[in-house]
Amino acid sequence: MGMSPRALLRMIFLSVLFALILEHYLTWHRRDRMVDPFLRWAALLRRFLDAGTAGLGLLAWLLAVIPVFLLGIAAHYVALSAGGAALAWLIDVLALGAVIDFKGLSDRLNTIGGLLRAEQFDAAQEAIEAWEGAPLPGEFDAPGLASRALQLALLHAHWRVLAPILWFVVLPGCSGPLVYAASLTLRRRWAPAGNAEGTGSSGSVGLGRDAFGNWARAAQRTLDWLPARLSALSFAVVGNFEESLHCWRTQNLQNPTDPARIVLAAGAGALGVHFEPAPALPFGVTDGDLGTGDFPGVEHLQNMEGLLARTLVFAVVVLGVMTVGGLLSF
| Residue 278, amino acid | A
Strands (E), 95-211: none
Q: Global pTM?
A: 0.89
Domain spans of the chain, in order of start: 5-329
Bigger pLDDT: 317 or 325?
Answer: 317
- Which is it for the CA torsion 145, 110, 124, 134, positive or negative? negative
Q: What is the pLDDT of residues 295-312, one digit of tens each?
A: 888 899 999 999 999 999
Q: Are 287 and 267 in contact (CB under 8 A)?
A: no
What percent of the chain is modeled with pLDDT above 90? 55
Using CB atoms within 10 Å of the CB of residue 279, give its burial: 0 to 12 exposed, 13 to 18 middle, 19+ buried. exposed
* Per-residue pLDDT at 51 exceeds 80: yes
Query: What is the dihedral sign for C-alpha 137, 138, 142, 143?
Result: negative
- Measured from the Cβ of residue 143, the count of other Cβ atoms closer than 10 Å reads 17
pLDDT at res. 283: 66
Instruction: Output DSSP code: residue 119.
Output: T
Q: What backbone torsions phi and psi does residue 106 show, to the nearest 5 degrees?
A: -65, -40
